[in-house]
Structure 1
Amino acid sequence: MNKKWVVVVLAMLAAQYASAMEIITLSKFQYGKRWAFTKEEVQLMCRPDHALYALNMSTFMQYPLNEKAEQQRKEGHVHAQPIGVILLDDPDHPGQKMSIAPFVERAQQLCVDKTTP
């Protein structure tokens, strides 16, 4: 009986944490030549602590988009890989990767505090 309550409480906490995060899906079709990823679509997420991630839902892997998320990855607080793993090469700038700036900006929009009117 006690194990059931532990599972219920953990499920409620997980649901509460997940509801605090907003996730959106973006596709290559939406961004055209500005698309930066090797995947056809990614999900963007802002955690309550403003750590921004790109997600690959087919593998459940996270990729940090900002310094806060990268620090969490380096410290082992999240299971994530470096963003460079899924970035395309920039055809206009040989030797460089595509810019993630539009995706960081879009993910930051998810961080808006919903408690303010």
Structure 2
Amino acid sequence: MKSVILGVVLLTMATGAMAADKLVNITKFEYGKQWAFTKEEVTLQCRKGNALFVLNNSTLMQYPLNDAAQVQVKTGQQRAQPLDVILLDDINNPGQKMSVEVFRARAEKLCVD
């Protein structure tokens, strides 16, 4: 019984912490040829300090999308994998990954709203 109560308390705390972050789901369908990710749907997130992350919806792993997010990862404030892990190769520029500028701009809007 104690473990159930503890689980409910932890879930409530985690939900409250997530509510402070701003999120938006985006899909490959919305972006067409600009789509840069290996997954068909991801979530963009603005966290404290204007740190922008991409979340893989199926694994909930996050990937830093800007310098502020990378700093948080390097200082141990956040756990994340490198962004290149979920980026597609750019077929028009061999040896390069797809640009994430359009997604970074969309995520930055979350920080303002």
Q: Normalised by the size of structure 2, how large is the TM-score?
A: 0.85
SS in 1 for 2:111: coil
Q: Aligned runs of 1:92-103 on 2, under 5 Å?
A: 92-103=92-103
Q: How does 1:1-117 map to 2 (within 5 A)?
A: 8=9, 13-112=13-112
Is 2:64–2:81's contact at 8 Å kept on the other side of the alignment?
yes
Shift of 1:75: 2.2
Report the 3-state secondary structure (helix = DSSP H, G, I; strand = E; otherwise coil) of the residue aligned with 1:49. Answer: helix
Percent identity reads: 54
Deviating runs (4+, > 6 A) in structure 1?
Answer: none
The structure that is helix-richer by fraction is: 2
RMSD: 2.2
Whether the 8 Å CA contact 2:41–2:57 is kept in 1: the answer is no
Moved more, 42-51 or 70-79: 70-79
Q: After superposition, give the CA deviation of every residue in 1:69-109 in whole Å (9 maximum; x if it has no partner).
A: 01111222212001011111111111111000000000000
Amino acid paired to 2:85:
V
Tell me the TM-score normalised to structure 1 length: 0.83
* Whole-Å separation in 2 of the counterparts to 1:111 and 1:27: 20
Q: Which segment drifts farther, 58-67 or 11-20?
A: 11-20
CA 24–34 in structure 1, closer or farther in 2 if over 3 Å, else same: same
Where structure 1 has 5 or more consecutive residues not aligned to the other structure, the ranges are: none
Contact 2:21–2:48 (8 Å) recurs in 1: yes
